[in-house]
Structure 1
Amino acid sequence: MKTASRLLLSLLIVSLIAVTPVRAHDELSAPPQTDPTAKFQKASALTKAPWFYIAAMYQYETNLQWKKKGQAGGTVVELPSNLWCGTLNPNQTDRYEGTIRIYNGIGRDGNKDGIADPKNEEDVLYALGTFLASNGTSEEDVRITLWNYYNESMIVDRITNFARIYNQFKTTELKGNAFPISKRYNYSYRSTWGDRRGWGGRRIHEGTDIFAGYGTPVVATSYGFVELKGWNDYGGWRVGIRDLNNVYHYYAHLSSYAKGIQIGSIVTPGQVIGYVGSSGYGKPGTSGKFAPHLHYGMYRDTGKTEFAFDPTPYLRRWERQTKAR
């Protein structure tokens, strides 16, 4: 009897094993998803520089290479050779940390393979962390270090605001966009990029006009920070928001601003920043010279120049994505 019971138990165990799906085992053995923020946190742990400042400077330098990276597809950001090797270093392809240090270059061998490789991400992040912590690790100390290199307060402020955004959300994975007018409201638009404009002198239209009712909420299209706010003779009451890709988003002809929107405010996609109006084409307070609409423009900063580009393809994509959500 005992033998029969044991036999039945053995058969039951075998049958359970046979029908158990392997999914659980697969999930346990599958490699974990890599959090891109972790690489900055690792560099921070080694150098004591705030991880969000390492990420911010890395992002700013990446933005300066947007065209090259767009073609190459995700390559490591290449820091300027004079920064990596040292301005006075006669060998601007130097990969030896000892001589790089002599010439005050920031290049470092982060992965301990004997080479300070500016194309190795681990080396680059370790070097950035060492550089940013060279005068101390407080925000003031890091900003002084950035100023000593860039010699431009606007760049220091942008990197600082990138760092504030990363620190607020505790991650560098900040993706997603929104159409500037909520789908709950009526609006219409077409490509008006390059159209002629006459007020204030002959010029082309650097943006897309989105017509909507007076007072319709206008929302941020991306993560970013408010860089400008106030009156512009052409754009009336306007808000300028810079995103993490160093693209400036221009929202013009507003009737008023959303509560709490100030220079330096951090915004998220879909957050209300103001309301549609017809302000502009005159001194502060001028309104009603045209139908209420939002003028939306996009400007890319290459580090040497800033230029406008047609936002319509982006608006159409974000419109589809917003409706799908």
Structure 2
Amino acid sequence: MLTVICLLSIPLLGTVEANEKDTSVYEQRMALYRKTEAMTQIPWYYLAAIDQYERNSNESSSDDQLVSIMIPDEQWFGLGNSSMIKNSHIVSFFNGKGKDGNGDGKADPEQPEDVLYTMANILLEYGPSKDEVKIALWNHYKRDLTVQTIMNTAKVFKKFNRIKLTDREFPVDTNYNYTYNNNWGDRRGFGGVRIHEGSDIFADYGTPVKATTYGVVELKGWNLYGGWRIGIRDINNIYHYYAHMSSYNDNIKVGQVVQPGDTLGKVGSTGYGPPGTSGKFPPHLHYGMYQDNGEKEWSFDPYPYLSKWERMTKETN
């Protein structure tokens, strides 16, 4: 059994009031991360990244939830503490991981401060350095992609020194000519029958390709199907796939943090053959999105997001 913690009650509000309330939630989270960092010396951005990862992985979590980290009851209370007694001394007696982070004498999995303090202490069993945190995350989650996603998200939070990163950008420069439609799921035949896992944005050769979101470049290079392509993992456990590019921006490298609007390269028609193959189809950007839930990753239709981001981009330009 897993225990979900501290769900804030947020009523339906007008747009301005909702934005203010939304900002308040981010501020409260950041205050908790900073407090836990001061208590444990675990950098706040690791705690924020773990919380962000679980918020986007757990179906029971929501954007309104203050802290979304979930620790199994048997790990929190200890195997012999079948009554799940919250007294911090009892939890410690049964070798439970739960800690008292707010000084009330209880190790309560429904209290955000206790949960963050407990998570920080789980990390501290290995140490506060980057490599030690990675080891702790592997032993906690037992999954390479989860560790990689959390570390990437921490890298983004550290760079921008904030957790409210909600800007988005259309993936090709809207000052150029382009067209696109909803062709996710269409049949494709090259290399065997398969479905089209993305949307095609047709544009002239050399049209700038843009980062749509905050994230880290996870992959760059040639692919038989996608030609010259780039993969970016964002802070919402989503992998963004850009394919058929003609070239890359000189400063784009694996491991680099990007933000909406950063130029990644240019539209082309590469792919469907060995490295350098080009011109087997009209120039376009294949843009795909893949969600990860901590157990598996799957493609989903990017078209609704592209339509929204196109409006947002044109409104700000």
Q: Distance in 2 between matches of 1:254 and 1:233?
A: 13
Greater shift after overlay, 178-187 or 53-62? Answer: 53-62
Paired residues for 1:151-170 under 5 Å: 151-170=142-161
The aligned residue for residue 301 of structure 1 is 292
Tell me if the contact between 1:258 and 1:273 (Cα under 8 Å) persists in the aligned partners: yes
3-state DSSP class of the match of 2:231? strand
- Are 1:188 and 1:212, in contact at CA under 8 Å, matched by a contact in 2? yes
Give, in angstroms, the shift of residue 166 of structure 1. 1.1
CA distance in 2, matches of 1:75, 1:163: 18
Gaps of 5+ in 2: 1-22
- Answer yes or no: is 1:60 the counterpart of 2:88: no
Deviates more, 1:216-225 or 1:78-87: 78-87
What SS does the corresponding residue of 1:123 show, helix, strand or coil? helix
**Residue number among 286, 293, 302 corresponding to 1:311 in the alignment:** 302
Identify unmatched segments of 5+ residues in structure 1.
Answer: 1-31
User: 1:78–1:168: structure 2 CA closer, same or farther, 3 Å change rule?
Assistant: closer
Q: Give the letter for the 1:119 counterpart.
A: E
Q: Distance in 2 between matches of 1:40 and 1:298?
A: 29
**Equivalent in the alignment of 2:41:** 48
Determine the C-alpha separation between the residues in 1 that align with 2:285 and 2:219: 16
Give, in whole Å, the separation in 2 of the partners of 1:169 and 1:83. 36
Query: Structure 1 residue 198: deviation in Å?
Result: 0.7
SS in 2 for 1:242: strand
Question: Is residue 81 from structure 1 mapped to residue 72 from structure 2 by the alignment?
Answer: yes
Asked if 2 retains the 8 angstrom alpha-carbon contact of 1:178 and 1:322, the reply is yes
Contact kept? 2:267, 2:284, Cα under 8 Å: yes
Aligned-residue CA RMSD in angstroms? 2.1
Cα offset, 1:57, TM superposition: 1.4
Q: CA deviation at 1:230?
A: 1.0
1-side partners of 2:275 and 2:91: how far apart? Answer: 54
Shift of 1:244: 0.3
Q: Does 1:144 align with 2:129?
A: no
Larger radius of gyration: 1
- C-alpha change, 1:94 and 1:198, in structure 2 (3 Å) is farther
Find the counterpart in structure 2 of residue 134 from structure 1: 125
With structure 1 as the length reference, what TM-score do the two structures score?
Answer: 0.84
Question: Relative to 1, partners in 2 of residues 1:288 and 1:120: Cα closer, same or farther, differing over 3 Å?
Answer: same
| Cα displacement (A) at 1:86 | 6.0
Output one character per residue of 1:215-266: Cα deviation in whole Å (capped at 9) or x when no partner.
1110010000011111111111110101001100010111111112111110
Match of 2:246 among 226, 246, 255: 255
Amino acid at match of 2:181: R
Deviation at 1:122, TM superposition (A): 1.5
Distance 1:296 1:104, change over 3 A: farther
> Any conservation in 2 of the 1:37–1:173 contact (CA below 8 Å)?
no
Q: Deviations 1:143-188 (Å, cap 9, x if unpaired)?
A: 2222222233332222222111111111112221101012211110
User: Aligned pair 1:183/2:174, yes or no?
Assistant: yes
Following TM superposition, by how much is the alpha carbon of 1:133 offset from its aligned partner in structure 2, in angstroms?
A: 2.0
CA contact (8 A) 2:51 2:67 kept: no
Separation in structure 2 between the aligned mates of residue 223 and residue 62 of structure 1, nearest angstrom: 17
**What does residue 99 of structure 2 align with?**
108
Indicate which of 209, 218, 224 corresponds to 2:209: 218
| Residue 294 (structure 1) shift | 0.4
Instruction: Tell me whether 1:284 sits opposite 2:275 in the alignment.
Output: yes
Q: Is the 8 A contact 1:84 1:118 kept in 2?
A: no
Where 1:46 maps in the other structure, the secondary structure is: helix
Q: Give the TM-score normalised by the residue count of structure 2.
A: 0.86
User: Residues of 2 paired with 1:240 and 1:246: CA distance?
Assistant: 13
**Aligned positions, number:** 292
Q: Relative to structure 2, which stretch is displaced further, 209-218 or 82-91?
A: 82-91
Letter in 1 for 2:40: T
Distance 2:133 2:141 in 1: 12
The aligned counterpart of 1:26 is: none
Contact 1:85 1:92 in 2 (8 A): no
Instruction: Give, in whole Å, the separation in 1 of the partners of 2:68 and 2:83.
Output: 17
State the shift of 1:87 in Å. 6.9
Shift of 1:270: 0.6
Return structure 1 stretches of 4+ with deviation > 4 angstroms.
none
